[in-house]
Each structure stands twice: as structure tokens, then as C-alpha cells.
Amino acid sequence: MPRTRVFIDPGHGGEDHGATGNGLQEKNIALDLAVRLAKALERYNCQIMLSRYKDVYVAISDRVKAANDWGADLYFSIHVNGHTNINANGYEDYVYPGVPQETADIRKAIHRRLSAVWFNAGRSNRGMKTADFQVLRETRMSAVLVETGFITNPQDAGLLRQVNFRQALADAMAAGIAEALGLEREEADTELEKLRKENRELQQKLTGTIREMEKLRDKLNQIRAIIFS
């Protein structure tokens, strides 16, 4: 059975910085999260492709074409919000209007995981939204675009600066995607088999030890019988 294909699209890149604020650039945060997400998804039985692996500009049409040509099962686009109102904060995500229920369900699973990370950090859950973005409109698979905080908000930007928080976001993305697509953990299966093997070996050693003890006990009884006869 072919493995599920996840196409990860870190927004912007190269001369296209995306949103900027508080000393941060959207293109860099998006790429960092994408690389972390790809690493986290390696634990699952899936194939992964990124639209860019470094700070280069890739046209939106080329991103969409790459995902379509590859036959991706999910297009996952990572962005960071920006606004003239520096009080705007928190998380939101987008799908194309009128998407099939399958895509809506995928988005719900991802939204639940990611919004919880932001909410637990005291930031806003801005909800599940729709938009006529090119990456959502022209892709031939389920497509979700996430806006991970506001780079223009000092508190959101402070969180995005933290390596541990970005890792928490990537892990939440991976968990949401895995749940939505029904991905199985390869590592978990391998670890379970390792534990089963260790259990079998320990049982064999224990059985051998018991037999040796029984032999020693019988020999001791024979010696005692001779001594006290």
C-alpha cells in the first residue's frame, strides 16, 4: 500500500520576506517550522516533500504544480500573520470555500491541536476560516493554510522567538496531520517489537535460571543425603 504523501509549504522566501515585525521575518519562521514539522513526521508512515528547503523564492504556481505533480494527499502551507493593529494576536487557519467534508475534517484535527498551543500560551483562537488563496484553490488535494501567530504582536513574536515554542507548534502540526490522515507511528511499532523481543529473551533467561536452580537444589539434596546418612 502506498504511503500517504504530505506536501509542506513554508510560505514566502528569498526576496519575498512575507510579514515582518519585532525583528522577525515570516519567511524564516515558516521555514523553521516546516523543517521541524518534516522531522516530526518522520516518526510516521508517510512521505514528505517541502516546497523549499532553504531561503529561496519559489513562485506560488510552482509550489502548486510540484504538489499536484507529486500526487500529494495533503498540501500544508505554513505562514505567520501580520497586521497594522499590533494588538491582533493568536492562531487561525484557512481552507478553500466549499471544500469536501474530508478536507473540513482534516482542518478540524489540525486546528484543534494548533489552537490549543496558542490558547495555552494565553493567545487568541481566531477560528477556522475560508479564503480564495491560490494554494487552496489550485491544488488537487486537501489543502490547509495555517497562520501561526502575529509577527507584528510583541507577545506572539516573543513566543515565536522561543525554540521550545516553535517545536511545540511543529509537534502539534504533526499530531494533527497524523490524526487527520490516520498515519501510523513507525517508531512506535519498532519500539513495541523491541520490547517484545526483550521480554522473550528475559523469559528465556529466567526459565534457564530456574532450571539451573532446580539442578543445584537436587545436587545439594544429594550431598546432604550422603552427609547425614
Residues acting as catalytic residues: 147
The DSSP bridge pattern shows strands 125-130 and 91-95 to be parallel
CA 149 – CA 225 distance, rounded (Å):
83
Grid cell, residue 119, equals 490558547
CA 36 – CA 171 distance, rounded (Å):
8
Grid cell, residue 24, equals 522577525
Using DSSP's 3-state secondary structure scheme, residue 77 falls into strand
Task: Please name which of 81, 78, 76, 77 lies closest in space to residue 149, comparing C-alpha atoms.
Answer: 81
Q: DSSP H helical segments within the chain, as ranges?
A: 26-41, 60-70, 101-120, 134-137, 154-161, 163-181, 186-227
Task: Please name which of 91, 86, 151, 138 lies closest in space to residue 117, comparing C-alpha atoms.
Answer: 91
CA 170 – CA 157 distance, rounded (Å):
16
